[in-house]
Structure 1
Amino acid sequence: MSFCVNLTQNQQSSCKKWNAGLYIRLSREDGDKLESESVTSQRDLLHDFLSRNPDLNLYDLYIDDGYTGTNFDRPNFIRMFEDIKSNKVDCVIVKDLSRFGRNYIDTGNYIEIIFPMLKVRFIAVNDSIDSYLKPESINNVNLALRNLMNDDYCRDTSMKIRSALTVRRENGKYIGSFACYGYLKDPEDHHKLIIDEVASENVKTAYRMFLNGGTLRGIAVYFNDNNILTPSEYKRSIGLNDRHYSTHEKAMWDTIAIRRMLTNEMYIGNMVQKQMEIVSYKVNKCRRIDKDKRIIVKGTHEPIISEEDFYKVQDLLKRDTRISTTVRQLDIFSGFCKCGDCKRGMNKKHIHQPYKEYYYYVCSTFKKGGHNACTKHSIQTNVVKDVVFEVLKQYVNVALTMNNIIDFINQSKERNSQTDKFEKQLSAKHKERDKASKMLVDLYPDFKNGLLNQDTYLMFKAKYEREILSINEQIAEIENRIEQIKTGLTQENRFISNFVKYQNITELTRDMVVELINNIYIYEGGRIEVEVKFRDEYETALEYIEINRQIYVAEQQFKHAQVAVV
């Protein structure tokens, strides 16, 4: 007698043999921390279900361990779906809906549209869902609610994870999977970075070459010619597996990689994070974050590059330092020499004659648009070089003189008497302000008592308010002078320090130009204007000398008097 006698139609249909694919998923990102969600637990539950249902034959087990449920881009799910399309699997069994997926829309599409179209039976054991024996379980409200709850759970978990990561970033803790090229994760604390002695030397080389006149392409070619491994290749060479990079062919250095290295603030000891973010928990794609929204914490690790060199490089990267196709060598003033009228860059040209060859600059605007755009502003390069060198030597002499005067003032015994003089001035100004304030306060009662009419009251009120404002400004200036005299020019003045170190220079160098010059303007008729850096620091030093001028003059007069007596 047949086993199917006296059974309902659906129960009779269950005599069909199904090739089952058991699907298991676990993701720490989704918050799957319970033992009940472990791979072993899911496997045991599904095998137990199979043993109690003789119409189900195990075809294969598909496990995605460590993959989020917000999308279906999972290697073993993809493998299972290929087996479904090849008619090897016609039944998918999961522990519950959350193991299948947490994306409300995509999960619903598979269960309600794709699987029925492919005649695939879907079973979620703990949710009592069986698309074959209980077709109503697929279409009822509970299924939609479960999918929506799974989706909400994933959204909530994603927000909590993002919030926790933001706190770590703001505390200066490194949370990347791999350390930035040039660094390694500290073995004792993976949220800290330590210098990689090998890779960091390559970083230093790139910065040094660029500061010495190298180009992005030139540095990339040098690295490739000298078999210096790219960041991805280097990671693999030290045993770090980065699945984001191709393993089929060797990666090569290019201008993009070099520029990325030369603009990375991590190399001056600052932790720069949240440069990229995932679009949403449903869309596993990244987008770049604007610089002003990135999380930067200063001084979290040992720097590879000094701040001074880093910002020199940033300044050079903004300039047009292209190499001439005819000259094929970076000019000493590349990126600095500009037309004095249109403010555009000057092009370097080369004239070669049998008896002579020389180089000259010409306005790039004139070169492109002719006389209607700008004039030629032509001038020989050696003339510019000589003028710039002389100007810089003069500034070096000024810096040396200022440095000597400031040292003299700082060590002078007359500073106390100078301080006393300004203290007396300050006391007098305070009395002036008190007097003006009292006069201002007394005005209103006089106005109320009819001693002053409205026009007179307003006139005197404005007068005393202006007087008090002026006195306050004078008080602030005197207090500043007293503070400067007491402390001296304690902070290193960058104008003085940067120019003084070139006191023994015998020729103009690219390094000198990069460090000391903002722009060189060429005017028609051969006039050259050199705009140096550190103007604010120059003014600060000059003001300090002016404030203490009497000390210096008095000391010099005393010395001359001593010499005369002798």
Structure 2
Amino acid sequence: MQRIFRLAVEGHSPYKIGRLLKADCILTPRAYLAEQHQRYLKVVNTKYPYDWGATTVKVILQNKVHLGHMVSHKTTKPSFKRKETVTVPEEEWIEVLHTHEPLIDEETFALAQKVIRVKKRPTKEGKHQIFAGLLKCSTCGQGLSFARGGSSKTAGGKGGRGSFACNQSRTRGKAYCSFHYISYMDIYEIVLADIQRHAWIAREQESTFVEMVATMSQSQQKKQWGTAIKERDKLVRRGSELQTIQRKLYEDNALGKITDEQYVALSRDFTVEQAQLKERLKLLEEQLQQAESKRENTTRFLELVREYTDMKELTKPILNELIDKVVVYDAEKVDGKRIQRIDIYYRFVGLIS
């Protein structure tokens, strides 16, 4: 299991991980249980015991049991009279934390989720674009897609002449979004230099770096914290109002003031709104918790970035470990020169000006 997570953190897709496990003759979970404990004997294909599927790998990577937690109520039966089961929404799962010894730490698990969410299209040489899933358009928020240029042997690598542009603009036209063009070489050199600079400061001027990040975080937090608190309070009030409304609807229906059809229609609308409120409140609580742990995150980022002081080139694992996203703005002409803003959001600390 640990190898599967390590391969994911290195940037391999579930499909690629499955191919690597098959090449090393690693038994699939069911084949292992059949061999060791005589289970699933009727369903295991004994001719292909190493035939890992991408879905199997993805399920393993998403399973929180490897963190030491137990998760249940993922499926349910609508009725005891029916055999089929239905999937339960994730927010309704029952999770019990720290029930056993974890196989994977929280950070590795989070990195693996980040990697497998990104759809990867390999080049003809079988390599993956190292910026896949990281570059975002500043205008519409969609990803930037890669286009080849020059030699096919070098277009995807450091020396290539490929480029990135807003995927929406590229596929639907400039009426939907502007191009946000940037060459592979430019974004590569910018990100590399930025990581090297922060790594040097973190090692040589740690106290200055911590103070700088803390000051920036405080100013960002004040605005984010205040906005989140106001929205949370508003949603809580609305949630209470909906409960009152639904009780009143039930009474009106019981007293014959509204028909059954009216009750069902209105109740359905309010139930949908309650579900949306619940989901939004969950996201707000997560934002507030993240803000509270900002100082601790600065320390974690310092520990990470210091390892890359002498880094000479970028790799997919390095980018996944250090960066959440890179926002690319449209280029502008200033005094006859092409100027382009790039915002790099680092893991744990966000944007460092």
TM beyond 0.5: yes
Q: How far has the Cα of 1:379 moved from its partner?
A: 2.1
Distance 1:405-1:339 versus aligned 2 partners, 3 A rule? closer
The Cα offsets for residues 392-447 of structure 1, whole Å up to 9 and x where unpaired, read as: 2222234335634699xxxxxxxxxxxxxxxxxxxxxxxxxxxxxxxxxxxxxxxx
**One-letter amino acid matched to 2:324:** N
Aligned to 1:267: 66
Say whether 1:366 aligns with 2:169. yes
TM-score between both structures, scaled by the size of structure 1: 0.41
Checking the alignment, whether the CA contact within 8 Å between 2:345 and 2:352 is kept in structure 1 is no
Match of 1:379 among 153, 157, 182: 182
Aligned to 2:349: 535
**One-letter amino acid matched to 1:494:** R
**One-letter amino acid matched to 1:337:** L
Aligned to 1:218: 16
Count of residue pairs the alignment pairs up? 256
What SS does structure 1 have at the residue aligned with 2:149?
strand
Q: How far has the Cα of 1:387 moved from its partner?
A: 0.5
**One-letter amino acid matched to 1:270:** H
Q: How far has the Cα of 1:326 moved from its partner?
A: 4.8
- Flag structure 1 segments of 5+ consecutive residues without an equivalent: 1-202, 408-488, 540-566
Match of 1:400 among 203, 210, 216: 203
**One-letter amino acid matched to 1:266:** V
Rounded Cα–Cα distance in structure 2 between residues aligned with 1:229 and 1:515: 29
The Cα offsets for residues 530-555 of structure 1, whole Å up to 9 and x where unpaired, read as: 1222227989xxxxxxxxxxxxxxxx
**One-letter amino acid matched to 2:137:** C
Say whether 1:242 aligns with 2:48. no
Aligned to 1:300: 99
Rounded Cα–Cα distance in structure 2 between residues aligned with 1:372 and 1:290: 37
Checking the alignment, whether the CA contact within 8 Å between 1:399 and 1:495 is kept in structure 2 is no
Rounded Cα–Cα distance in structure 1 between residues aligned with 2:329 and 2:350: 25
Aligned to 1:253: 52
Rounded Cα–Cα distance in structure 1 between residues aligned with 2:35 and 2:153: 56
Rounded Cα–Cα distance in structure 1 between residues aligned with 2:180 and 2:124: 20
Q: Which has the larger radius of gyration?
A: 1
Checking the alignment, whether the CA contact within 8 Å between 2:147 and 2:163 is kept in structure 1 is yes
Rounded Cα–Cα distance in structure 1 between residues aligned with 2:45 and 2:184: 49
Match of 1:495 among 274, 285, 301: 301
Say whether 1:309 aligns with 2:123. no
Deviation >4 Å, runs of 4+: 246-251, 324-327, 353-357, 404-407, 489-492, 536-539
Rounded Cα–Cα distance in structure 2 between residues aligned with 1:354 and 1:308: 36
The Cα offsets for residues 496-554 of structure 1, whole Å up to 9 and x where unpaired, read as: 22222323323323222112212112222243221222227989xxxxxxxxxxxxxxx
Give the % identical residues.
Answer: 22
**One-letter amino acid matched to 1:533:** R
Q: How far has the Cα of 1:246 moved from its partner?
A: 5.1
Distance 1:353-1:314 versus aligned 2 partners, 3 A rule? closer
Rounded Cα–Cα distance in structure 1 between residues aligned with 2:322 and 2:130: 13
Rounded Cα–Cα distance in structure 1 between residues aligned with 2:37 and 2:120: 39
- Flag structure 2 segments of 5+ consecutive residues without an equivalent: 155-159, 211-294, 332-339
Rounded Cα–Cα distance in structure 1 between residues aligned with 2:152 and 2:300: 47
Say whether 1:232 aligns with 2:30. yes
Q: How far has the Cα of 1:352 moved from its partner?
A: 3.0
Rounded Cα–Cα distance in structure 1 between residues aligned with 2:317 and 2:177: 31
Q: How far has the Cα of 1:386 moved from its partner?
A: 0.8
TM-score between both structures, scaled by the size of structure 2: 0.63
Q: How far has the Cα of 1:294 moved from its partner?
A: 2.4
Rounded Cα–Cα distance in structure 2 between residues aligned with 1:355 and 1:306: 38
Rounded Cα–Cα distance in structure 2 between residues aligned with 1:297 and 1:351: 51
Q: How far has the Cα of 1:263 moved from its partner?
A: 0.4
Say whether 1:342 aligns with 2:148. no
Aligned to 1:507: 313
The Cα offsets for residues 108-159 of structure 1, whole Å up to 9 and x where unpaired, read as: xxxxxxxxxxxxxxxxxxxxxxxxxxxxxxxxxxxxxxxxxxxxxxxxxxxx
Distance 1:339-1:266 versus aligned 2 partners, 3 A rule? same
Checking the alignment, whether the CA contact within 8 Å between 2:66 and 2:104 is kept in structure 1 is yes
Rounded Cα–Cα distance in structure 2 between residues aligned with 1:267 and 1:205: 12
